[in-house]
Amino acid sequence: MKTSTEADFGSRAGCPPPSGPELLAVPQRGSSRCAARDPGFLEDIKQATSNFENLQKQLARKMKLPIFIADAFTARAFRGNPAAVCLLENELEEDMHQKIAREMNLSETAFIRKLHPTDNFAQSSCFGLRWFTPASEVPLCGHATLASAAVLFYKIKNMNSTLTFVTLSGELRARQAEDGIVLDLPLYPVYPQDFHEVEDLIKTAIGNTLVQDICYSPDTRKLLLRLSDTYNRSFLENLKVNTENLLQVENTGKVKGLILTLKGEPGGQSQSFDFYSRYFAPWVGVAEDPVTGSAHAVLSSYWSQQLGKKEMHAFQCSQRGGELGISLRPAGRVDIRGGAAVVLEGTLTA
């Protein structure tokens, strides 16, 4: 007895209905080919099915990236410096890093990758780490490193107390502490900078604001301007800085970031800080960065010499604001401590 499927098969293809495994291949409506008489017909169907399955796998890999946003150097959400963090289970096409960073449109997007196929985000202790602004990749980003550690510690529940990140700036470590996360970063020395070489940049950025000291960090290409001690925190917070024209004034590549800093004030009724700062990096697509770990790897070197201290407490005076605990260590390293709050968790689907 013929089934309805068998009868339909024969009537549409114009050939006797097959039996057994041949019934697996059903031709398109109106096709003159028949699996019983054309062995290549089954192979075509198998190849099409394989191609479709491979396409599904590729789309699944590209369209399911775990992504988080964490506010760094703060204990409260919507303060500090937000960074996007992507967890890469597989290799990502090189240009996709920059496309995702541009889409996130935060000062930094971090990409954590496994170093070996058997690594596990919850159990392994060493990962690769890269950072991208909306405009370019950068060699070091403190707040996005802190955000990356926070995601692994707080959301993925990584079992280790210390994580190591392999980066363009060497191996960086992040360890859990009672009052946040401690980053082990390189300490970058600064050197006196001749005023006349950067006079146009200074005048463009801050006009006639009094500058007490000028230093330069060749390792990071950051220019540090210490404002006059006659100014206070409120002055620095409200200072209008012109970043729009800096790219025209400084286009040699020597300067990639501008640090404005001010000596701290006695605490009185408010919390005491050893120094204040703001940071601007239009050269890498960031007009003003809310809280900057890499800038404090430079500031720590400068203010340790000025104040004769190895333990310091700093505040970055952006609109969002952020606090950093600083501890200089031997061998040219500095511990920078801060809190973090993970405020968003989702899946990147494009």
The model's pLDDT over 151-166, given as tens digits with 9 standing for 90+, comes to 999 999 999 999 999 9
Q: Residue 35 pLDDT > 70, yes or no?
A: no
324 pLDDT above the threshold of 50: yes
- pLDDT for 173 beyond 80: yes
pLDDT at 26 over 50: no
Query: Catalytic residue positions?
Result: 108
Query: In which band, very low, low, confident or very high, does the pLDDT at 34 lie, cut at 50, 70 and 90?
Result: low
pLDDT of the residue at 271: 75
CA distance 347 to 350: 9
Q: What is the pLDDT of residue 341?
A: 97
The pairs formed by 86-89 with CB atoms below 8 angstroms and a separation of 24 or more are 86/110, 86/111, 86/112, 86/348, 87/112, 87/121, 87/151, 87/156, 88/112, 88/113, 88/114, 89/114
* 13-17, 22-26, 111-115, 156-160: least confident range: 22-26
Beta-bridge partner residues of 334: 185, 328
Most confident of 58-67, 262-271, 340-349: 340-349
The structure tokens listed for 63 are 């369209």
* Listed range (166-175, 262-271, 275-284) with the worst mean pLDDT: 262-271
Cβ pair 13, 30 in contact under 8 A: no
Task: With cut-offs at 50, 70 and 90, classify the pLDDT of residue 292.
Answer: very high
The H-assigned helical ranges of 14-84 are 39-62
9: confidence class by pLDDT, cuts 50, 70, 90: very low
